[in-house]
Chains A and B, each alone.
Chain A
């Protein structure tokens, strides 16, 4: 039995992670670890960077092809895709799917939360895009928190 099957929380060991160079370019992190019959992320990628042989397979991101455009974030029914981009001065941009009210505005300060909903840091909203009824919110955080921040509280 995997720990996340009990807790609902993934650890970084459960994920395949990109290298630093790929992170500087910005890449999609797909936190989809179970064989669910589902593939809209594959269709959504304009760069053919997400692949899947069978609909029940796990999506595999080609971190070299992926440019971190985030098209896949809002189509994922499991809201399991995030984009992380390392930028200068020890900072990172994290794009998160968001389906709650109120929706933050650019430059708002919001609470960044980890996979267990625990407070990580206060971060600044850099971009808010609405796609269908899912918002994609991009926040600016410290680079060491980039793989832990997965939600925001407004």
Chain B
């Protein structure tokens, strides 16, 4: 009859220590004396070590065996190893062991009461040995529970195994972590390499950019220097040619006159070219200084009309400037705008054989930009050429090109100037249908602040009168009446906002203010005029068709006078103006 007690797996040297300690403790619990405890533990140690060393591990089982009424502690150690090759030699003591002085099995046999060993190549080695329980000591089945419980409570082979398992896992994760770390390190290295490459590339690019910049700068300086150098002799040629043509040094033969005329014209062409070159060089070098001032489209067109009339060589082409009436004034560099438009118009005239060249302007109040369009009915430009024409020295092949003179710089310069003014120059064209060049610029030069420094220059020496009224008819009537005032200059605004702005910018001597206005009404305009330091001294005449109540009058306290529109006459307006202007002059 066999009662199993405990069983242990033995895989490592430490397990051998655990096995022999369990064996000793078990022997103690079963009542063996110290000597037997030592014997049993030593025997277990020997056989368990053999299982670990020779078979790579096995199992130790403890049990109580009862044979013919005699109880023994029976130990069975089994492994799954290759078996013992020369068992007989070992048992006869002829074997020389590498570890235990060759006495493990033999010694165990001596230490125990019974000893059996079976070994085969397939089934491994099984060693069974036992020690009788001390005399007078009987273990009953009920005692087994208590013994097992005590062993379990004391020994923790399972906990140990668990710890070992955790350790193994820990080691595994550690090695995995190390692998990851290695991977990361490698990746990092790769990235660093890439980074170095990118940095090197950047440095190269920077260098290239610097070289390009320097080359471009050199070109600009060359252009600028050369243009200056060219101009001096050219001016001499021009002056001398004129002297000759003026007959200062005597009469010229007709042929001579013609030749000198050619010289003069060629020199003029060359001067134009040099001037354009100089302008481009200036723009590129950022040396162009913009001189913004306030002007109106009407003023601009007026000046252009005079300048461009001589270019209109053929009666077949009509040059028309469309007057757009009153619009918000521009505050930008008039010279540059004029230069661009001159260029565009002169181009349009060159490439138009018959029809018209029309110049229009349009103000977009929402984006606060002016669009000037020069539309011709000329030969047009193919889509492929539409971008090319803005490049320097590019002239498009066409049948008219030969006839007209040009440098190929005009459009390039114009576009640069347009960009300088914060705008753009574009073209729409179809061959045979004519072209439209559009210059779009902000009505106020970017970066010049909200309030221009100079008011528009005075036309005359009389008073400047601002009429603020949204109705065209009223404005017309008031303008007619007011302009009969000696020397008076009348400017107009179509709503309260524009009225305030013009009052601030153009410094009128008097404001004629309607009360019913879109957006800001007259009351509000009056109040704001009074709040602004600059506009407070300007006398304001209210000019209204509304019937005013008492509260209205209170709100109009600041006004110099009130003119009811219902009974407006020239004399009445003039006398009111005179009174108001006098009041304005006397104002502090």
Pair from one complex: no
